[in-house]
Amino acid sequence: MSFADTARIIIKSGKGGDGHVSFRRELFVPNGGPDGGDGGRGGDLIFEVDKGMTTLGDFRMKRKYAAESGENGGKKRCHGKNGRDLVIKVPYGTVVKEAKTGQVITDMSGDNLREVILTGGKGGLGNMHFATSVMQAPRFAQPGQQAQELEVILELKVIADVGLVGFPNVGKSTLISMSSNARPQIANYHFTTLQPHLGVVDLEDDSFVMADIPGLIEGAADGAGLGHDFLRHIQRCRVLIHVVDAAGTEGRDPLSDIEKINSELKEFDPALAAVPMIIAANKTDAIYNDGSSPDPVEQIRAVYEPKGIKVMPISAATGEGVRELLYSVAALLKETDRQPLIYEREYDIKAHQNEDLPLNIYRESGKVYVVEGPRIDRMLGYTNLEDEKGFKFFQNYMKENKIIDQLKKLGLTEGDTVRVGGLEFEYYE
């Protein structure tokens, strides 16, 4: 079994429906004008937070998600039906990354509970839009804008005010069960919790969310075990409680354990070294000291309290010291202005959507040149050529993307015909 903390899926918006080419054919109107309708708009691909979800396990069995495409236009100016949006539910705290680059597309946390990730293609215009005094029977229509498709990585980074860290079997699960409404399964074995448990700690005047982060092991920052999967959750926390087995019930050295875990945190993300921390010296009920050896709690205090890190003895099993620990944590939360980490957008889908789309430019005959392919179809899908600004944008697009330069290399001269995505134009300098 492994914790479903990440998922890799392919998402796709809906394609816009194509515009229709048709002409009125009615009794006594043998040569009616164009009446081809517009294509419907493709559906959007939307991510939405479902606060009832706690893992990305739902994405294990299904990898491809697509919104519905728009219907093509029809005769008699009939508009094609718009495609339905597809809403994908994800847990709060899910970070969406572009698979190839690993760059952040969006962080589904904070106030961002619903976001359109891929926009559906715009429907193409029917031939009724292209009739002019010169061309009264246009035999072409605009194709629908292509769908957007992207492979993404989903990463769940639990959002909690306080994170419990420490080696396996030091009592973190017991502590969160004693402190909050969380009821994790607890067993005294050397395997660890595979899934973070969230609990709300309610005090008289305060409340905060606490997460039991699965037990770390040496080498976690290098990816050993499930290290990377679990360490990423700690980045969100405002305060850390470092739980250590002060009694050394398994023959471990508490001071060495603290140092190793702190090293793992710092190696994974240097910023974690600055997160406020309290050390919970647990299992004090199991400390048997006849005075012949140093008190382990005092040894920990001697090392860490001079560094400004408070050390508090507790017994999660009996509840001793737990209340005092929680009030100290609440006070520390009030003192810190560190806000939960929200990941900024690094990957702009719109800026990348046309980069890899094919574009074909060739000479069809003596004075006819063709520009076709998904890249030009996409541009035409969101450009209104009937509008003066839209037509100017189209001209600039042809120049800025060096399409005119390529046509000239093929022999394009003034007066020649250029067919762009099914539309015909005469070229003038």
What DSSP line would sit under 275-305, residue for residue? S-EEEEEE-GGG----SSS--HHHHHHHHHG
For 176, the 3-state DSSP assignment is helix
Residue 67 has pLDDT above 90, yes or no: yes
User: pLDDT category, 392, cuts 50, 70, 90?
Assistant: confident
User: pLDDT category, 27, cuts 50, 70, 90?
Assistant: low
For 29, the 3-state DSSP assignment is strand
Q: CB atoms < 10 A from the CB of 222, how many?
A: 12
Residue 337: its pLDDT value, please?
A: 77
Terminal Cα-to-Cα distance of the chain (whole angstroms): 67
Query: Can you tell me the mean pLDDT for 271-293?
Result: 83
What is the distance between the alpha carbons of residues 223 and 68, in angstroms, rounded to a whole number? 39
DSSP code at position 152 = E
Instruction: Give the range among 250-264, 348-362, 364-378 with minimum mean pLDDT.
Output: 348-362
User: pLDDT category, 270, cuts 50, 70, 90?
Assistant: confident
Residue 186: its pLDDT value, please?
A: 36
Residue 353: its pLDDT value, please?
A: 66
User: pLDDT category, 251, cuts 50, 70, 90?
Assistant: confident
Whether 233 and 159 have beta carbons less than 8 Å apart is answered as no
Whether 119 and 43 have beta carbons less than 8 Å apart is answered as no
Residue 261 CA neighbour count, 13 Å, CB half: 27
What is the distance between the alpha carbons of residues 157 and 90, in angstroms, rounded to a whole number? 12
Whether 262 and 270 have beta carbons less than 8 Å apart is answered as no
What is the per-residue pLDDT across 28-52, written as a single tens digit (0 to 9) for each?
A: 656 678 888 999 999 999 999 998 8
Rounded to 5°, the CA angle 239-194-257 comes to 55
What are phi and psi for residue 399, nearest 5 degrees? -80, -50
Whether 110 and 69 have beta carbons less than 8 Å apart is answered as no
Distance of CA 208 to CAs 161, 201, 388, Å? 6, 5, 57
Q: What is the mean pLDDT of the chain?
A: 82
Contacts of 393 (CB under 8 A, 6+ apart): 383
Q: Encoding tokens for residue 29?
A: 């109107």
Instruction: Give the range among 84-88, 217-221, 269-273, 395-399 with minimum mean pLDDT.
Output: 217-221
Query: Can you tell me the mean pLDDT for 60-85?
Result: 93
| Helices 388-400 and 374-381: angle between axes, nearest 10 degrees | 150
What is the per-residue pLDDT across 177-227, written as a single tens digit (0 to 9) for each?
A: 887 755 434 333 333 445 567 777 888 777 788 887 765 554 444 444 444
Residue 290: its pLDDT value, please?
A: 65
What is the distance between the alpha carbons of residues 84 and 14, in angstroms, rounded to a whole number? 8
Residue 230: its pLDDT value, please?
A: 63
Residue 362 has pLDDT above 50, yes or no: yes
Whether 157 and 236 have beta carbons less than 8 Å apart is answered as yes
What is the per-residue pLDDT across 95-143, written as a single tens digit (0 to 9) for each?
A: 999 998 888 899 998 889 999 999 999 898 888 888 777 777 787 788 8
Residue 312: its pLDDT value, please?
A: 92
